[in-house]
Each structure stands twice: as C-alpha cells, then as structure tokens.
Structure 1
Amino acid sequence: MIELCELLKNWPCTAKGGDFRALVSGVTDHSAEVIPGSVFVARKGRSASGLDHIQEALHNGAVAVVTDISRPPALPQGVSAISVPDAADFLAYACSAFYGHPSRELTVFAVTGTNGKTTTTRFIGQLLKACGIRAAVIGTLGVWIDGRKAPLQTPPMTTLPPAHLHRVLRYCADEGVTHIAMEASSLGLSGRRLDHCSIDYGIFLNIGTDHHAEHGGEEAYLRAKGRLSGLAGKIILNADDPAVLSITGNRRPVMTFGERHGGDTHLRIDDDGKGDWVLAAGDALTVIRTPVEGRHNRLNVAAAFASLMAAGFNMSELCRNASCLSLPEGRMQEAEGAGIRVFVDYAHTPDALEAVLSALSSLCTGRLISVFGCGGDRDREKRPQMGRVAGEYSDSVWVTSDNPRSEEPARIISDIMAGLENTPAFVRAETDRERAIRGAIYEAEPGDIVLIAGKGHEEIQISKSSSRPFSDFRTALHFLGEREAESGASGGDSRVQTTDRFWYDGSGME
C-alpha cells in the first residue's frame, strides 16, 4: 500500500478533490480490474478509450482517476481528478512505484525480434539455472521460475501490461529471484508497457514481417522494436541482420552475435560439419553439443550466450552447461508414431516457417508434409509469402485455418494459395484444421515428417466472436494413435488418396 500523495510526488501533474492521503490498493488502466482504493488511469488504447470506462471504475471503488486530456470529466466528491501530460507514461511509472520499483532489484534481460523471443528467453533462463542462479522467464508461455510454472494469474500476452508486469517482478524479487529474462514484443514496446522498467540488457534477434497492420505499417513496426535500444542499459545485437543494425541507431552494442566473423566482442556460431556447433569469441574457440536442431535455434543459442557473456558470465562455464538447453512447448515439439515424425511449431511468419522447414528438410529421409494457415485480421501481405515458402520446401502442403478471427477462412486460404501456384508441392486446402492435421498424418508414410505450423503452444482457436479448445500437439497425438491402432487391426496402412495437385474441400473455395 502507498499513499496517493507518495505516488504523485515525483510526477508532473495537477490534482483536485478527494483525499491525497488515501491509501492506494492498486493502479490499473482496466476498469474491470479496479478494486476499492485503486487509481484508474483512463488512457487511450489502440481500439478503445479509458474515458468510456470511468463510470465502471468509480462503481468498482476507484479513489482517483488519471487522464491526459485538457478538460477531464467531472468526478464525484471524494474522488481525486488527476491530470498528467501522458497517461500511458504515468501508468508505467505508477505501476512500478506502487510495487516499490522491483526491476531495480533485479538483473533484467529483455529480448525482442520477430522470431525466437520465447526460445531465447527460455535458453537464458536454463543457462542461468545451470550456473546456480535463481532466474525467472516471462513471456508468451507465462511466468516460469527455475524451470517451473509460477502460481501467478497473468493475461495471455507476450509482454505483460505494467500493472501485471511489476506485480510479477515484485513477486520474483520477494521469492529470491535475481535475474529476469523477458520477451519484449513490438506491441508491448509501442504500448509503453516496458517504460519505467529497469532493463539492463536489450537483445535484438532479427527483424521480419509481422504485426505491420497492427502498427499501421512497416516503419511504425520498426520504430516500436527500436524503442528497446533507448530503454536498455546495454544492447546485444544480431550482427548478421541489417534491419537490426538500422533500428538501434548509433548505439554501440556491448556484444554482437551471428554466423559471420567479428571482433573480440562478437560471438560467432557455426556448424562444424560433424553434428556439433562451434562458438568463437575472439581467439577462444569451443565446440558445444546441444540437443536442439536448426540454424535458427543456433542463432538463438548464440543470442543467449552473448547476453550472458555481456553480463559477466564465463564462456567456458556456459559451454559446459549447453547440454541443459531444451526448446519450449510448441517449438519443434515432436510426436512420433507408425514410423512418422510429427513436429508442432509456432512458426507464423515467412522467416520462421522457412527456418523450421529448412531444419526439418535436413532431418527428413522421406517426404516433408506441411500443415499451416494464417491468422485473420492480421498482415495479409505475409500470406502468399508463407505459401511460397511452404511450397518450395515441402513435398505436400495442407493449407488450413489458423485463428481466422472475424475473417472468412476461405479468403485467408485463397491469399495463401496465391503464393503456392508456381511451387512444385502437392497442395490441398481444408478449412477445418483438425481434418487437415488428420489428412496430413494419414497421408504420411514411414520416414516422412509432418510439420504442423502456426499455433504451437496455443490451446484455443479463435473464430468470429468465439473460441474453442484446440491443441495442435494433442490433435496430432490423437491421430497418430488412431492410425497406429487402425494399422495394427487391419495389418495395412490407411491413407488419404487424391488425384489432382490442387484439392479443395469445397467450403467456399473456387
């Protein structure tokens, strides 16, 4: 608890009415989260304004309302009306102050990039634990401390809003955590969620195509990513990505990483041609063995190593612990049955899909079969790009629904199909994702690999205004088991047969 006047004393504002000695029980910009004694920050969001929810906040017991408009609305007697220059900026500060600025007590790594944030933060957390450090990982998969899911309720967001973020950081500090690895999404950065969070190291992985529509264009997306360079004390960069170098401006990184050669503060990672990886920093060269596959994960490992080396950890100690690394749920997650290997991966951008398919093609002894779709109400320009990538790497492609949201699945599939037209893959369109996964698994033969891409760890599928439980991995396990049972009962192999290169299920497709 903190007095309202203490919360405001270091912030430019004008205030009137209410009791400035009132004890504040929380700070939030969501009226539904207001409890008696809360400060409600009525900021303008991407699709709604907090001004429209002031009455609900008052009904729930707000003791103060913060706005950044020239004429704030009249409030009941006993409620403080506070005007600040920027409500989003104040929200981030006030949430940090309410919890006693917990980020200042922690060493914080913030990882941004179009692809690889979840994996890299997980790698940082695993390496810290192996080095005897109590660490937390915060991101798409929730909050994890020392490899265990923390008993915390948080919204399903890559980067937590300030009210939740600083509550989590306070919990971590009180639990003896000293280091934090968290994901910094473009939407989180542009929404000021990480402002007034003390970030020691900002890690830039890569820049690809994603969220352009939500930001209003590519330039806005790049600016959002680049904000991390101004928030972090030190930065670590992927020196192989020109876009990363461009968005960080003139800031000099404390470490860089990549597959090209560099100086003493550059960590190079490469394949030694014998199945192991080579790490080189200056004159030091080490061969490491990790249980993860793929060039993209090689770069994620390099990012984690470079980040920890920038923080003072010894390269040789990190290399000794490389065998502890494992991928998060929904990232190259494997199931096997009837001689078929099925991988579930979150890849939902052209770069990510290409990285995963490239990795799997090097493992595949038979055919490579892909199942994927694209989310609705999101960047349409990436849909044909993903179709082209899938068609170039796969022998067979099942195009299906991802999270169609308010869009018609058939329209999304049509956009993807445009990129598949001149590729050699055998292509099918099936709007029902469950049927598409079943079709791909029944099409496969021993030695084939099936990739189910796009949703990864997600447990629901969003369509129109509703959602339903759906897990790619559990669905794959079900059909692998079903196929094995049928094969065992009949002594044969049940397969989906088609005759044309393009096959449609008839659900609105032409």
Structure 2
Amino acid sequence: MLLSELLKDWPCTILQGSIRRTIDGITESSKRVKKDYVFVAKKGVVSDGTTFIEEAISNGAKTLVIDRDNIDLTSIPVEVTVVLIPDSSLFISYGSAKFSDNPAEELLIIGVTGTNGKTTVSHFIGQLLKELGHKTAVIGTTGLYIDGKLTETIQNSMTTIPAEQFHPILRRCMEQQVTHIVLEASSIGLSTNRLAHCPLTVGVFLNIGMDHYAEHGGRQRYIDAKKLLIPLADQLVINEDDETCRVIGEGLSEPPIYFSRRHINGKQQPKVLLPNLGHHNEMNARAAIGALMALGYSLRAIKPHLHALRLPTGRLEKYEEAGVEVYVDYAHTPDALQAVLEALSESTKRLITVFGCGGERDREKRPQMGAVAAHYSSHVILTSDNPRTEEPSQIIVDILSGMVGFATPVEVFIDRHQAIRYAVTQAQPGEIILIAGKGHEQIQQIENQKMHFCDMEEVKKSFSYRNAKK
C-alpha cells in the first residue's frame, strides 16, 4: 500500500518527507517494526512511543506517525517521513483496519463486554453458531478458536488484542471461510480504541462489577469505557438483572434485547438451561441465547442445540481423583468468586477455597473477596495470584481484613505451588477444592519476572505427590 493511500481519509500534517512511498506494515511496537513499516509513536500508560523512535528507524521504519508536535525533527533522518495526526490510538486502529482491507466490514461480529463471564459467553455463542451451521471464530483471553479448536494463542493473554494484530487475524479468518466472529470486548480494549474500527452486528452487556477501577481512574470511568461498545453495535443485548446494565439499556434510542433469570427477550424461560453449573452459567447461557436472537434466530430454533454448550478452559474446570473434586476457575472479582462458590456450595460437601488477589490492581476488592470466601467455604487457604511488584504478604493482609468476624479456618501459603499441594494432600474423599483467580493462565508474575505456572498442572502434580507419600 502507498502511504498516501493510508493517509488520504485521515486528518494529518506532513512534517517531513514524502507520502509517495510504499509501506509494508503498521505497528505501535518498535520491536515489531520491519523494513518499510509505519511506526505509530503512541503514548502508553507505562512508556511513551517517542522514546523508541531511534529503535524503530534502526529496525526499518520509514514513516513515523505522532500526535504531539514537540518532537525534535533534527534527530530524525531526512529520508524518514514524519506525520502529525490528532490521536495516535485511533490512527493505529484505523490504519490497521485499512492495511488489512477492512475485514470487519465483511464479517458478522458479536462483541461481548462485562466484568465477569466474557470468555464463557463468547464460547457459548460460538458453540451455538457452529451447531447452527456457521463457521465461527472466538477471539479472547484464551486465544483464537475456530469451530471450537484452538488455532492461535494470544500474547500476554490479552482479553482484547491490539488493533494491529486484531485486523490481520480477522483477515486470516476470512481466508479460512469463517463468516461469524465472537470477541471479548474489555474495558481497557474499548477505552484504548482497539475496536474503534470494528463494526459489530451485536453487542452484549453481561454485568458491571468491581474490576479495573484503578486503571480507569474510578468506577464511573470504568462504566463509561464499557459504554463505548454501544455506538459500535447495530443491536444490543443487555442483562436486565444487573442494575447498571439496565440503566444503560434505558438510555438507548433503540430498545435492546433483554435477558434475565425470568425471561429472554420478554419470553418466560423458567427452566434451568445448564444443570449443575450454577446460576451464573445459566445467566451466561441466557446471554448467548439473547445474542442468537439478535441475529434473528427464534428460541425454538436455538433450544435443540443447548446440549452442545461446554465451559471453556479454566472455567469450573474439573479434575477428580481419590474421591476429591478439584475445580480451577478464573474468578478474580468478588462477584465472580461468589457465583462460583454458590454453585459449588449447593452440594453438602466440605468446600476448601484456595485464592489470592493480583498486585497493582483494585485493592478495595481484596477484603470483599476475603469475606465472600469466608462466608461460603469450610476452609480458606490464602496465597499469591500475580503479585507483580507488590509485596505478596501485604496483599494477603488486605484480604484478611475482610475475614474478621468469620469462624472459617484460614491458612496462608504465599507460594501458590505450596498452597495447592497443601490443599490436595489435606483434602479428604468427598471434599471439594476450588482454586480461584488464574483459571486458564499459564504464567505467574512476581516482581518483573513472568514464570510458567498452570493451576491445573499443579493440581495433577500435587495428586502425584500425595500418592507417592502413601
């Protein structure tokens, strides 16, 4: 593509160089720059892209795009074109879509947002669409799935991937005859314009709980970020039981499709759709049904396919040995942890909960999660999640502050490996263990180091250790 073609529909000022040059790619990462790439020097939360201009040029960038006019042009070679635009995050979205020939405009796309349940609902929608004969891709936290099969993993397990990777994935999906895309739309992804040039046929609002407040600067900004899904979608599906979502629906010019524990799109639906998987997964199934109805399918056409619904990896993922049931789940917010514990505590079995909270994230949710765990569990084992640069023991102290007044026994193992092993070796036949917080994740971040860590792998190793001790 010619640079002039990329820029012709976008407001810009050429500060230096020519736009009559061929470009071979566009990126906001200097490390991904190749020969004749456009480097968008975006200002991020942690670092500023302008500090990587020299590296980008060294790697082959022949065009720089910036949204600040205080750059020193004397340090940039004259053969490098420099373009000034109003908003770099919007431009990387626009440019990535255009460079891939706007694949989103040729696909039917469903975007799912919410504090909890995005991955499960996305996979449920994908499974129903496959059952109905559509070749479908699901893109989100756990990777890229085409017709239920994992075909690509997502770098750093990003819920909503950057636009420069997203649009090429859409193009590759089209080349494989995919017609329907289901994607997770995170608040971070929406607020950073990763989906700004991705028109949606359907947008789904699941719930608004406590998560990412610190990253957005407060609860209202978090809600405002979620609401950025609205102008992207032709039709909206909204959880009427969630007060914040219901208010969002009431403010729409066009009525959405509502789902709740009582009905789907105004039709009574009293029967449990997914027995034994908890109320929250019944609601997830209802959200998926609502999305299919937004696509024009009747409840009668959808119902015969509900038997095909399966939870994705790391969502109430079960392993059983020696009469002990172990569940690994991604629950990392108070609402999500409560939903999972409510589902598991419906049995009369003794319930052991192993969990921690992530570092550098919403501290106010830690005591709430502690209280939830103490209320529903027979025994709680506190440990590390991804402490990042925070002191793990301080995170645990924050969790413990919410457990005051409960008689539930609590033990602490800062090392997650030790916590899981202890839970497995101490559990008796007939008991249930929930290991919450990381789910599908394959890494643990301690300080600035990322190490391989998989909860389910640790569970199986712990049973081997338990058996060897006998």
**TM-score, shorter chain, exceeding 0.5:** yes
Asked if the contact 2:138/2:146 (under 8 Å) is kept, the reply is: yes
Alpha-carbon deviation of 1:94? 0.7
Are residues 1:314 and 2:271 paired?
no
Equivalent of 2:445 in 462, 469, 482: 462
Partner of 2:69: 70
- Distance in 1 of aligned mates of 2:463 and 2:10: 59
Asked if the contact 1:237/1:253 (under 8 Å) is kept, the reply is: no
What is the SS of the residue equivalent to 2:366?
Answer: helix
Are residues 1:255 and 2:239 paired?
no
What is the SS of the residue equivalent to 2:441?
Answer: coil
Percent identity, please: 46
Are residues 1:302 and 2:286 paired?
yes
- Distance in 2 of aligned mates of 1:261 and 1:358: 22
Asked if the contact 2:393/2:414 (under 8 Å) is kept, the reply is: yes
Inter-CA distance 151–259: structure 2 relative to 1 (3 Å threshold): closer
Q: Which amino acid aligns with 1:104?
A: E
Partner of 1:392: 375
- Distance in 1 of aligned mates of 2:383 and 2:38: 45
Alpha-carbon deviation of 1:156? 2.5
- Distance in 1 of aligned mates of 2:450 and 2:19: 44
Q: Which amino acid aligns with 1:457?
A: H
Aligned counterparts, 1:274-353, within 5 A: 277=272, 288=273, 290=274, 293-353=277-337
Alpha-carbon deviation of 1:72? 3.8
Alpha-carbon deviations, 1:4-26, whole Å to 9, x = none? 11101111111144332322111
Are residues 1:237 and 2:238 paired?
yes
Q: Which amino acid aligns with 2:390?
A: E
- Distance in 1 of aligned mates of 2:451 and 2:70: 43
What is the SS of the residue equivalent to 1:225?
Answer: helix
Asked if the contact 1:109/1:199 (under 8 Å) is kept, the reply is: yes
Alpha-carbon deviation of 1:425? 1.2
Q: Which amino acid aligns with 1:31?
A: S
Report the more deviating stretch, 152-161 or 416-425: 152-161
Report the more deviating stretch, 342-351 or 461-470: 461-470
Partner of 2:466: 483
Asked if the contact 1:223/1:247 (under 8 Å) is kept, the reply is: no
Partner of 2:266: 266
Partner of 2:55: 56
Asked if the contact 1:399/1:413 (under 8 Å) is kept, the reply is: yes
Partner of 1:205: 206
Partner of 2:406: 423
Inter-CA distance 419–434: structure 2 relative to 1 (3 Å threshold): same
Alpha-carbon deviation of 1:250? 2.8
Partner of 1:173: 174
Partner of 2:341: 357
Partner of 2:134: 133
Partner of 1:412: 395
Report the more deviating stretch, 472-481 or 168-177: 472-481
Alpha-carbon deviations, 1:337-396, whole Å to 9, x = none? 11110000000000000000000011x332111000000111110000000000000010
Asked if the contact 1:110/1:202 (under 8 Å) is kept, the reply is: yes
Aligned counterparts, 1:146-225, within 5 A: 146-151=147-152, 154-225=155-226
Partner of 1:451: 434
If the length of structure 1 is used for normalisation, what is the TM-score? 0.89
- Distance in 2 of aligned mates of 1:90 and 1:53: 18
Alpha-carbon deviation of 1:441? 1.6
Report the more deviating stretch, 213-222 or 110-119: 213-222
Q: Which amino acid aligns with 1:373?
A: G
Asked if the contact 2:144/2:154 (under 8 Å) is kept, the reply is: no
Are residues 1:442 and 2:425 paired?
yes
Q: Which amino acid aligns with 2:323?
A: G
- Distance in 1 of aligned mates of 2:443 and 2:285: 29
Inter-CA distance 77–267: structure 2 relative to 1 (3 Å threshold): farther
What is the SS of the residue equivalent to 2:370?
Answer: helix
Task: Count residues with an aligned counterpart.
Answer: 467
What is the SS of the residue equivalent to 1:420?
Answer: coil
What is the SS of the residue equivalent to 1:22?
Answer: coil
- Distance in 1 of aligned mates of 2:55 and 2:466: 53
Inter-CA distance 269–459: structure 2 relative to 1 (3 Å threshold): farther
- Distance in 1 of aligned mates of 2:319 and 2:428: 15
Asked if the contact 1:267/1:302 (under 8 Å) is kept, the reply is: no
Alpha-carbon deviations, 1:281-310, whole Å to 9, x = none? xxxxxxx5x466011100110011100111
If the length of structure 2 is used for normalisation, what is the TM-score? 0.96
What is the SS of the residue equivalent to 2:157?
Answer: coil
Partner of 2:105: 104
Asked if the contact 2:30/2:56 (under 8 Å) is kept, the reply is: yes
Asked if the contact 2:142/2:153 (under 8 Å) is kept, the reply is: no
Could you list the runs of 5+ residues in structure 1 that have no partner in the other structure?
278-287, 488-510
What is the SS of the residue equivalent to 1:194?
Answer: coil
Asked if the contact 2:328/2:436 (under 8 Å) is kept, the reply is: yes
